[in-house]
Amino acid sequence: MGSRGLVSKDESKVEDTSLTYFFEKLCPMYMSYGMTYDEFWYKSPYRAKFYLEAYKRKVKQQDEYMWVQGMYIYEALCKVSPVLHAFSKKGTKPLPYSEKPYLRDDENLESEEEKKRKEENERLLVKLHFKKWVKDTQKRFAKKQK
Amino acid sequence: MNTKINLAYNGEKYVLEYNRMAVKLLEQNGFMLDEFLKKPMTNIELAFSGAFIKNHSKVGQEKIDKIYDSCKDKAKLVATLQKMIQETYESLLSDKPSDGDEGNTSWEVEDLSPKTSQK
């Protein structure tokens, strides 16, 4: 909470709480989180909470993004290192770079369309298996009857 | 939490809540949070009129005073206003995610103005 200090002659400090001071101090910080001036001062005070939450998520996302980028750079360096070696044999080639991005196979990052397609494929596969099983059973049954 | 007071006076509905500008204006008019927390009854009328700034800024002081006089359960009213003012800065401090509308205070005040009996 913000507080203004009133210093008297004997230097003892009397403090009173000023919300205005506190708000004015924090307003630029929240504006840097994407909140507008009007939102901060005139709209529901509760909104600020969500801006703070969103900002934290954004920072986390950025951190993850930078981490993955670092991984790519690290991998690229590792893969090319055989060529960079001072005593490498003639004709040495760099190792192949990853064919696909690291997160391509991450199920959480699959699009809805991809998920639906996968489900549909699985359903068709089950249907085919079932049809085959029915046919085989019918054949066996027919043989027995003969 | 986002506490509001819903009240009805003379058939009109009012939603009382604070924004930061309202609290700033209150302080410009001599409102002091410390004093309000220690001796709420001394600042209650000022705090009550401040709750009209956000949604009903055109309502006159005279009417606000009348509404205040007609309110029942002043102790609960003080506690709610205190909570609402606290929320204006707690929302800037708290790290916890939202807990929805839980705890919203509803304040129902019926038309308490004196009714003249018709003969």
The chain A residue lying nearest B17, using CA atoms, is A44
* Model confidence at B99: pLDDT above 50: no
The chain B residue lying nearest A16, using CA atoms, is B34
- Tell me, what's the pLDDT at B16? 93
* Model confidence at B81: pLDDT above 70: yes
Q: Using CB atoms within 10 Å of the CB of residue B115, give its burial: 0 to 12 exposed, 13 to 18 middle, 19+ buried.
A: exposed
Least confident piece of the model among B19-23, B39-43, B56-60, B71-75: B39-43
Which residue range forms the structural domain that includes residue B32? 5-93
- Reported as type and span, the H/E element at residue A99 is none
Tell me which residues of chain B, numbers 64 to 83, contact chain A at a CB-CB cutoff of 8 Å.
none
Question: Is residue B114 domain-resident?
Answer: no
Name the domain count of chain B. 1
CA A126, CA A43: separation in Å to the nearest integer?
55
Contacts of B24 in chain A (CB under 8 A): 19-20, 23, 41
Nearest to B91 by CA among B2, B24, B13, B25: B2
For residue A40, the cross-strand partners are: none
DSSP 8-class letter at A94: P
Helix (H, G, I), strand (E, B) or coil at B13: strand
Is the CB of A49 inside 8 Å of chain B's CB atoms?
A: yes
Q: Using CB atoms within 10 Å of the CB of residue A141, give its burial: 0 to 12 exposed, 13 to 18 middle, 19+ buried.
A: exposed
**Residue B44 and residue B81 in contact, taking contact as beta carbons nearer than 8 Å:** yes
Question: Is residue B68 domain-resident?
Answer: yes
User: From the list B28, B89, B91, which residue is nearest A1 (CB)?
Assistant: B89
**pTM of structure:** 0.63
Span A112-133, average pLDDT: 89
Contacts of A43 in chain B (CB under 8 A): 19
Is the CB of B88 inside 8 Å of chain A's CB atoms?
A: yes
Span A41-51, average pLDDT: 91
The per-residue pLDDT for range A58-100, each reduced to its tens digit, is 999 999 999 999 999 999 999 999 988 888 888 889 999 988 8
* More confidently predicted of A132 and B107: A132
Q: Say yes or no for a CB contact (<8 Å) between A45 and B94.
A: no
Q: What is the mean pLDDT of chain A?
A: 85
Q: Say yes or no for a CB contact (<8 Å) between A46 and B18.
A: no
ipTM of this complex prediction, to 2 decimal places:
0.72
Q: How far is B93 from chain A (nearest CA, A)?
A: 8
Q: B58 is written with which tokens? A: 């055109």
